[in-house]
Chains A and B, each alone.
Chain A
Amino acid sequence: MWQRRRSAAVRVWREFTRDRGGLVSLGVLGAVVLLAVLAPVLTDPAGLDVTRADGLPLRPPTWEYPLGTDVDGRSVLLLTLWGTRVSLLVGFAATVLSVLIGTVVGIAAAHLGGWVAAALLRFTDFFLALPSLVLAIALSSVLPRGSATIVLAIAVTSWPATARLVRAQALTVEGRPYIERAKALGGGHLHLVGRHVLPAVLPLVLANTTLVVGNSIIAESTLAFLGLGDPNAVSWGSMLQTALSSGAVSAGAWWYLLPPGLAIVVIVLSFTLVGRALETVLNPRLKGDRD
């Protein structure tokens, strides 16, 4: 059994490496995550404290400050690096929560059927129809300010797509004969879902997750840009917000705006490419089209 799993994993990896974009993106993501994790080791967090910043405000890039300085004389490079931590953390946390809700609702709707499914689906439709950014803004202005609120706001608004996807996949699995056999042999709900449906759905969930991360990071940056983020931590969105409100935009301080903006583009692009590559490998239908 373990051997079979391992060989399956090796096969997946081999197919994944065939997608050049996905592979490069995975490398970029690995590097970014490593940098974010090692930020406290590599750099001195004291540089984030405006009262200890020693640079001149709004200076273009120099050797000392490779990406220039912000309005308070802090290194933009340092801010961008530390912003990675918040953006990734919130992105991942929101994704885990969102995918968890989506998967539970999706599988429950597919497996239980009947009025439960009807109720769950209407509930999903309701959230699907709500403009998610507006709902996220409303939520984060009502709840106390902080990272946890942002995570919740993003998760609550982004799960319906996952739920729909998982339900569709779970329905096809449920229709297969071996599920019927398992039922005939007396398998309970937990056994059916845990041993058969969930494992069959998981690869798709995994591919979907990488796509959701990208969206979550954008949502985080957007909310922070709109002034709803955690004021006690630097994130890419909050950097852009400060740049805008302090008039750095009018002053033409491009070095203050481009790093967080490009960082968002790069990281979201990477997640999307990895997600697509994974999807192609794991979803047999997409693979069939390709060959």
Chain B
Amino acid sequence: MRFTRFRRLRSVLALAAVPLLGTGLFVPQAHAQDGPTVLRVALVQEIDHLNPFTASFASSTMVGRFAWEFLTLPSAEDATPTGGLAESWSASEDKLTWTFRIRDGVRWSDREPVTAHDAAFTFNRIMTDPKAAEANGSYVTNFARVTAPDDRTLVIETEEPQASMTALDVPIVPEHVWSGIRDMAAPETDSIEVVGVGSGPFLITEYRRNEVVRMKANPDYWRGRAEIDELQFVKFENADAAVNALRNGEIDFVNRLTQAQFDTLRGEPNIATNQASGRRYRELLMNPGARNSAGQPIGDGHPALRDVRVRRAIAKAIDPETLVEKVLGGYGELPGGLVPPIYADHHYTPPADKKYTFDLAAANRELDAAGYRRGPDGVRAGPDGRKLRFRLTARASEDYGLRATDYIAGWLDRAGIEVVKNLVSDNEVDETTSSGHYDLALSGWGTNPDPDYILAKQTCAALPATSGSSSSNAFFCDRTYDRLYQRQATELDPRRRAELVRQAQARYYEQVPSLVLGYDNVLEAWRSDRFSDFTEQPEGRGQIMEQTGYWGFYGARPADAATGADVGLPAGAWVAIGAGALLLLAGGGTVLARRRTPAEDRE
């Protein structure tokens, strides 16, 4: 007992020391004028894995995008497919066989050539090893055979025609490094020996958990070496700390700003801001009766939520407009289907008669009609006598989680539904939602220009084989939806496919296994006195960090005349720091890590 106690203590202490190190170590480089140009990016989100087969947090996949080149990827200009490792590609007459021509002369960072065999290995591994399929398995479910007849030809045969073949968001890894890995879930797969060999614009050189990921410019990158020498992702425990670090010039780039932070930074000298349409949606998951792929129930979701009438009533008792207006401060777009409006072709806007309009009276009426009567304490109970008392799981690390739960609890309370807030760490949200141990939960996913990935997450085929794998999004399994999904996946005419994509989303919307709450604008800020020319995707209105590609930081250039102006803190921040310091000092003088960090969704 004593031993375990000590061990736990030690891990807690280690945890406590992390933010001190993470923020402290990199301060001295603040005004480094000579030497390598280092772009320091604040990461207010955890890294789950660097291993691209298992990495699913947006932060981790972003790192992966810099390290490993794709076959093809969405272009910076308009997110249409452009060549990566593949210099050209073609489909057979029956659209079942795709041939990719691999670019000549591309090398891994250990000087080995990149060949079609590496790509074939990557896809085959995902197809045969369930652990390797965790992050990108949805792309290959329809693959029949992947072969490399020679070093420069990759042939992919699919069971059915697949529309997303030029948008395979799968990092291609070196076979000579990864073929020796037996267990894809092993922690060693996150080590530099394994993930350090890459082919992208930047290479991973150092990784300290919850501290920093360092990447250096790949000198042999086939598009040409990046203008900056080093890219550092420095972990911050909260966004305010990152914002202050940006003001002081300790870091150069921050994203996921809250509205208040964005508004303040907008007027600052030497700081440039970017407000872009986002490609991720936020949603309220409503456990529709979680099942695994064998059809056995898993988790402990409230049975009343299996009733679609209850889910629809909840959807009517929630006002996304207020959430976007107040919690997102207007920096967001109103919801419709799963695909955000930035991808206008595939975005679904429900017609007026199908739309869940915020109407508490209607929600109450419908719950009454469905047989969920209010008890003496004002809380409804189902016909089985079980009260409508739902846990609402959300991230304690982010402002949205803290505040949106207040709103949702307030509205549902007026509909006779009791909500118990359960604010936990990012990883815990991930665990509870992917194992079905939730009633309601706030979540969200990033979407790609090609809607296949996000739509595939809602099919019966995505239900987890083992509890805890994060392949299914909302444990949705519906025949009508699956049919629509299948049809869009095999439809190669873009216009007809878009129609089917919208129909599939309409079905999802109608069954509400989750309610889309809005699409955040991406709010970013950077030191304009140190860097310029970040590439937006899509051009002119898109985001810089966390793109579907590596354009943002790859295009960055050091600003011409770096004027290291001394940026002080405004009085308000000092007051706040004082108050915080007072509290912490009084509480024991120890600055402690919060395990939950501002972070975000999986991707």
A231 engages B405 (CB within 8 Å): yes
Q: How far is the CA of A217 from the CA of B238 in the complex (A)?
A: 24
- A245's partner among B240, B405, B571 (CB-CB below 8 A) is B240
A250 engages B403 (CB within 8 Å): no
A134 and B9 contact, Cβ closer than 8 Å, known pairs A145-B424, A246-B258, A247-B257: yes
Chain A, Cβ-Cβ closest to B401: A245
Q: How far is the CA of A72 from the CA of B421 in the complex (A)?
A: 18
- B406's partner among A50, A141, A240, A241 (CB-CB below 8 A) is A50
> Closest CB of chain B to A273's CB: distance in Å?
15
Answer yes or no: A227 CB below 8 A from chain B CBs. Answer: yes
B258 engages A133 (CB within 8 Å): no
B244 engages A250 (CB within 8 Å): yes
Answer yes or no: A244 CB below 8 A from chain B CBs. Answer: yes
Within 8 A of A (CB), among B420-466: 420-425
| Best-buried of A243, A245, A261 by chain B (most CB within 10 Å) | A245
> Closest CB of chain A to B499's CB: distance in Å?
37
Answer yes or no: A116 CB below 8 A from chain B CBs. Answer: no
A57 engages B403 (CB within 8 Å): no
A222 engages B587 (CB within 8 Å): yes
B582 engages A261 (CB within 8 Å): yes
Q: How far is the CA of A251 from the CA of B576 in the complex (A)?
A: 10
Residues of chain B with a CB closer than 8 A to A274's CB: none
Chain B, Cβ-Cβ closest to A137: B592
Residues of chain A with a CB closer than 8 A to B260's CB: 58, 71, 246-248, 250-251, 253
Answer yes or no: B594 CB below 8 A from chain A CBs. Answer: yes
Q: How far is the CA of A264 from the CA of B587 in the complex (A)?
A: 11
A222 and B575 contact, Cβ closer than 8 Å, known pairs A245-B238, A247-B258, A252-B264: no
Answer yes or no: B595 CB below 8 A from chain A CBs. Answer: yes
Q: How far is the CA of A240 from the CA of B594 in the complex (A)?
A: 14
A244 and B580 contact, Cβ closer than 8 Å, known pairs A145-B424, A250-B261: yes
Chain A, Cβ-Cβ closest to B243: A250
Answer yes or no: B411 CB below 8 A from chain A CBs. Answer: yes
How many of B's residues come within 8 Å of A, CB to CB?
64
Q: How far is the CA of A247 from the CA of B238 in the complex (A)?
A: 10
Q: How far is the CA of A141 from the CA of B421 in the complex (A)?
A: 15
Within 8 A of B (CB), among A79-114: none
Q: Mark A112-142, 1 if CB is under 8 A from B, else 0.
A: 0000000000000000001111110110010
A218 and B13 contact, Cβ closer than 8 Å, known pairs A138-B8, A247-B243, A247-B257: no
> Closest CB of chain B to A157's CB: distance in Å?
10
Answer yes or no: A219 CB below 8 A from chain B CBs. Answer: yes
B572 engages A252 (CB within 8 Å): yes
B239 engages A132 (CB within 8 Å): no
Answer yes or no: B376 CB below 8 A from chain A CBs. Answer: no
Q: Which 6 A/B pairs are nearest by Cβ-Cβ distance?
A: A252-B572, A247-B260, A222-B587, A51-B410, A249-B576, A247-B261
25 A-B pairs with CB atoms under 8 Å apart are A50-B403, A50-B407, A51-B322, A51-B407, A51-B414, A58-B260, A134-B592, A137-B12, A141-B425, A141-B595, A145-B422, A221-B587, A222-B584, A222-B586, A225-B584, A231-B396, A244-B240, A245-B399, A247-B243, A247-B257, A249-B576, A250-B240, A250-B573, A252-B575, A261-B582
Given contacts A246-B403, A247-B257, A249-B577, 10 further A-B contacts (CB under 8 A): A50-B406, A72-B406, A138-B9, A227-B396, A242-B402, A245-B399, A252-B573, A254-B575, A257-B576, A258-B579
